[in-house]
């Protein structure tokens, strides 16, 4: 079985953010970091080379594959910020709340457990905070610490 390549590292989150190519991405990463810290109460940790994660959980699929991943986090990618909100994926009620909130978020796109935002000015930050909060709470309910 293939090993999970996304693992926690000892790399500095502050240095990663400081090294981002674009000044706007750098500043927005600082804003997102502060928001995730506020909602989760967790200090960030780098997961792999580019994901800033908060908390962790252990998963095991029916197939037998298992591993560890951050409970939530983001990656300030070149084109868009990728926000990892797994709670809406693993809990149907949270998924419904997420869908309702997304109508008021602003310009975004999404994948199964990812939310993609081009720039923070495109979204309502209070709605974004609530999306992070409900995902965090769902992950904590599904994967107690």
Q: What are the pLDDT digits (tens) for 51-88?
A: 999 999 998 888 888 889 999 999 999 999 999 999 98
- Please check whether residue 100 lies inside any domain of the structure: yes
Assess if residue 3 is contained within a domain: no
Query: Residue 1 — pLDDT band, cuts 50, 70, 90?
Result: low
Pairing relationship of beta strands 72-76 and 109-110 according to DSSP bridges: unpaired
Evaluate whether 92 touches 106 at the Cβ level (below 8 Å).
Answer: no
Q: Is residue 96 a part of any domain in this protein?
A: yes
SS3 58: strand
Residue 128 domain-assigned (yes or no): yes
Q: What total of structural domains would you count in the chain?
A: 1
Average pLDDT score over residue span 108-135: 96
Domain span including residue 81: 13-142
Q: Answer yes or no: is 7 within a domain.
A: no
Q: Is pLDDT at 25 greater than 90 in this prediction?
A: yes
CA angle 131, 114, 139 (to 5 degrees): 55
- pLDDT category of residue 112 using cuts at 50, 70 and 90: confident
Residue 133 lies in a domain: yes
What dihedral angle (degrees, nearest 10) is formed by the CA atoms of 102, 58, 42, 39?
A: 20
Q: Is 64 left (phi over 0), alpha (psi -120 to 50) or beta?
A: left
CATH number for the domain spanning 36: value is: 3.90.1150.200
């Amino acid at each position: 079985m293939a090993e999970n390549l996304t693992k926690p590292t000892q790399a500095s989150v502050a240095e990663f953010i400081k090294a981002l190519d674009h000044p706007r991405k750098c500043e927005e990463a600082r804003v997102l970091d502060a928001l995730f810290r506020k909602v989760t109460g967790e200090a960030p940790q780098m997961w792999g080379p580019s994901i800033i994660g908060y908390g962790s959980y252990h998963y095991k699929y029916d197939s037998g594959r298992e591993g560890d991943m951050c409970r939530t986090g983001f990656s300030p990618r070149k084109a868009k910020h990728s926000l990892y909100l797994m709670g809406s994926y693993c809990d149907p009620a949270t998924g419904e709340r997420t869908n309702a909130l997304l109508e008021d978020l602003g310009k975004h796109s999404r994948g199964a457990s990812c939310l993609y935002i081009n720039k923070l000015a495109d979204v309502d930050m209070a709605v974004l905070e609530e999306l992070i909060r409900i995902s965090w709470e769902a992950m904590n309910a599904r994967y107690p610490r």
